[in-house]
Structure 1
Amino acid sequence: MNYLRTAILLAAMTGLFVGIGYLVGGTGGMLIAFGIACAMNLFAYWNSDKMLLRMYGAREVDQSSAPDLWRMVATLASRADLPMPRVYVIENAQPNAFATGRNPENAAVAATTGLLGALSRDEIEGVLAHELAHIKNRDTLIMTITATLAGAIGMLANFAMFFGGGMRDSEGRSSGIGMIGGLLIMILAPMAAALVQFAISRSREYAADRMGAEISGNPLGLASALARIHEAARGVYNPRAEQNPATAHLFIINPLAGERMDSLFSTHPATENRIAALQALASQMGPGEMRGGGYRPSPAPRQNAWATAAGGRRRGPWG
């Protein structure tokens, strides 16, 4: 159902783009604007992972610098039948994580030192499995497509404002939509595109939660992680995320201040709804599907100097 919903939402965004392009400049104007938007986003498509990791100051780790973290990702990737992604650690006190990359062969998983220092091993495993599910589902590619279309819609909306009233067809008749129409499109079209983009993001989060729980074999471990991250993220400011709000949808929990509701304008589903879905999944899974026959909560690790943003220069098993 999530895949069908995503396909419908992508079709809706494409239809919105085509409709605005036709209103602004007919078929020719639509194709020109789309070509410009694609050219602008082509570089981001091929380099979005490098740009994002650099934006957050992520540091790549390997088996020697972060043995526990690297082996955990390797084990989960093997369970998910995925190539080993690159593994990064971000020096940030807010517990969070994201995945990036245009395909499974060019993917990376990044976790903050806040997450590695505040969560138990079972919870960290659940979070990493969730991010690998995004990679397996090619969600990062889907979000790149929606970002491209949203950018193109924004560009067409600006065209509608500045040129909507003065374009004429071959017979000299005005083919524009008028200044008022252009103003309405400039305001409403980007909002509509954002709503569709957020809806796609929320849909993919539910799918990644389910697949991540299946990969880890521990739905309640991921549910516990979501609860802890949600609570901790509310009190820990993430300056880089606040400076780049367009990246908020990539994190497992919204890193921005506010917007915690399951509303039209939120990038993530409500955490309590995600937890309820995972609890329902746990009740449906038999003992053979649950790792070790069921979830056994483990205590959160003690805060280690190397696992916090303040003491990030020291190295340990998590990097």
Structure 2
Amino acid sequence: MMRIAVAGGRGFGFLLATELAQAANAYNVVVLSRSARPEFDQFDVQVHVVDYHDHGSLGYALQGVDLVISTISGAEQLNLIDASGRGRVRMFVPSEFEGSLSRRQSRNDPLDRGSSQALALLKQWSESSRMKYTVFSCGLFMERFHPYGLFNTFNIGHGSGVGGAGEFLVNFSTATAEYAERDSKGHSVRVCLTSVYDVVRYVVAAVDLGPSHWPQEFTMCGDRMTVRDLINACSTASNAVFTRHVRQYAELETYLSYSAQLCDYDKVAYYQRLVATANGRYDFSQATLNEAVNRSNSVNVQPVTFGTWLAGIWNQAF
């Protein structure tokens, strides 16, 4: 039986661990957490309280683990990667779910926030040991567009500057939107979106298919649409006419530069994300994990579309 360690017991980590524990293949799941998590008792999930800055603590918790799935970041994830490489872990999934690797800036990425360091360390271990790694890219989490800004309840991407309501593309409370409709070459800006719950289902499906032949990156997608259509969907769900601030690509760069001059770092993060969106960071034409799941007779995932997800969320919230 495969033994899987999920690093992080809150939000996204909780969903992953409980779904894996209840999967048809009944995986042996252990959660690595900074504190006790009694909520896992009912799911027969073992919890290891660890100190991510103590290699001895990590090494002990990783004994017998085949696969590590991380929902943490920064220095703690780097230490976890090192401990996994030194142990007998065969596969590592880093906390790198939004934005395809091929669409990120290769140098001086303003949205990096430690990602390149983690990926470089994983590459180093994959070349010097048997531990491999796979990134699961979902485009954007649909939950970023929750009308109440509840995305951070999933404990994903803290410090990204776009976790609250109205901090990215749309603001439901003011019925406003700000975005670039076309990129620097005049092409329509598109994004891929996947619900957090579908990301969990796709990751579990990939584990069921077996990690031995996983590629370096799996892409998954619940929906793909232009940013303009995304705003239309938000308008339809909320039954409100949005005031749209449609920017030229060059305008976004000007606003970004001006915000930096004013040392308005919240606005800097805001416009960095809009520029990255216009550059196609969250878009890909081929969803390789969707394709792998669809080819298989043993697993099945039917992801929700953005319009359906948003309508359901809106009906629950109001």
TM-score (norm 2): 0.25
Point out the structure with the larger strand share.
2
Point out the structure with the larger helix share.
1
Higher RCO (CA 8 Å, separation ≥ 6 residues): 1
TM-score (norm 1): 0.25
Instruction: Please identify the structure whose Cα radius of gyration is greater.
Output: 1
